[in-house]
Amino acid sequence: MSRSLQVQNVEVLVSGRLLKRGRLAAEYYEWVEEPDSFLRDLAGAPSRIDLFTFVQHVSNLTPRRDFFYETETLAVLPITSYENWWKTQVNDKTRNMIRKAGKAGVELRVAEFNDEFVNGIMAVYNECPVRQGKAFKHYQKDFATLKRTHETFRDRSDFIGAYYQGQLIGFAKLVHGRGVSSLMQIISMLGHRDKAPTNALIAKAVEICTQRSVPLLHYGIWGRAGGLGDFKKHHAFQCFELPRYTVPLSPLGRLMLRLKLHRNAADYVPEAVMKSFLAARAQWTRLRFGAGGK
């Protein structure tokens, strides 16, 4: 169970029953720019928060605060120019996949976020109830919910559409921030993966970043087990190790941090056990959805 509150015009998500943990609701797309001021206002909020955790801005990997911290790994692509990325950062196989999209007739363009585009998103999401071995959380969501979900940060986002014969078969939402742009969403139809639209969407995102002189493109967490690690590596994303700070704001928070019990339960699961769990979940999902699960 979670709730949210506003601190310095930023939404903070608070979760937990006994131990109340807080973090930015839009973490990785918003950052705690002035921690001291933010933490003072957070401590004075009407809702109790025992521990607050935040990640240092992706542009600086060196810890700059005296708070307790652990390592957070993000997938980040350093960009100097599109030509350099194309010629030296990605390999021949990746370049051929991107070319394949163009040869197959896939058109990439920045799209207007309107009702037609949201309907296209619905079609992409409703293609299959399963993605990456688990039930797909956006499957069969209604129009209003999807529109509300995707219009966040609209004033600083580009929506990139991958079109085939006039149909939206994939899209990416690229959110621009200070010194970094982030792929908040990138997905393509499984039925068109032979045309490599996702590879082409990455290339278009890199192109947009170079046009804006953005030096870093962020694409989610690096991850401990499973996920899209190989796909990210093939497109030259690197593992950036950032400090994740955890700050106690109450006596209970100080006690739990001292006892090293400040994390969520899943964080204590060994990687080998996590991989086994993910494999078992994928198998169960396939059995549950039958031929509909991909």
> Both 249 and 126 in a single domain?
no
pLDDT at 213: 97
> Both 196 and 85 in a single domain?
yes
Q: What whole-number distance in Å separates Cα of residue 69 and Cα of residue 273?
A: 25
pLDDT at 224: 56
134-141, Cβ contacts within 8 angstroms, sequence gap of 24 or more: 134/281, 134/282, 134/285, 135/285, 135/288, 135/289
Measure the CA dihedral 65/53/184/240, to 10°.
40
> Both 193 and 115 in a single domain?
yes
pLDDT at 290: 65
pLDDT at 1: 66
> Both 47 and 120 in a single domain?
no
For residue 220, is it left (φ>0), alpha (ψ between -120 and 50) or beta? left
Domain containing residue 229: CATH number: 3.40.630.30
pLDDT at 135: 87
Q: What whole-number distance in Å separates Cα of residue 204 and Cα of residue 172?
A: 9
> Both 88 and 232 in a single domain?
yes
> Is the torsion defined by CA of 140, 144, 149, 150 positive or negative?
positive
> Both 81 and 109 in a single domain?
yes
Q: Containing domain of residue 109, as a range? A: 76-239
Domain end call among 196, 222, 239: 239
Tell how far CA 92 is from the center of its chain: 26
Angle at 283 between CA 281 and CA 288, to 5 degrees: 90
Tell how far CA 152 is from the center of its chain: 14
> Both 87 and 208 in a single domain?
yes
User: CB neighbours (10 Å) of residue 179?
Assistant: 13
> Both 207 and 99 in a single domain?
yes
User: How many domains does one find in the chain?
Assistant: 2
> Both 84 and 7 in a single domain?
no
Instruction: Give the pair of three-digit tokens for residue 161.
Output: 């559409």
pTM, entire model: 0.88
Q: What whole-number distance in Å separates Cα of residue 114 and Cα of residue 145?
A: 14
Residues of the chain with pLDDT under 70: 1, 224-227, 265-271, 273-288, 290-294
> Both 220 and 267 in a single domain?
no
pLDDT at 206: 98
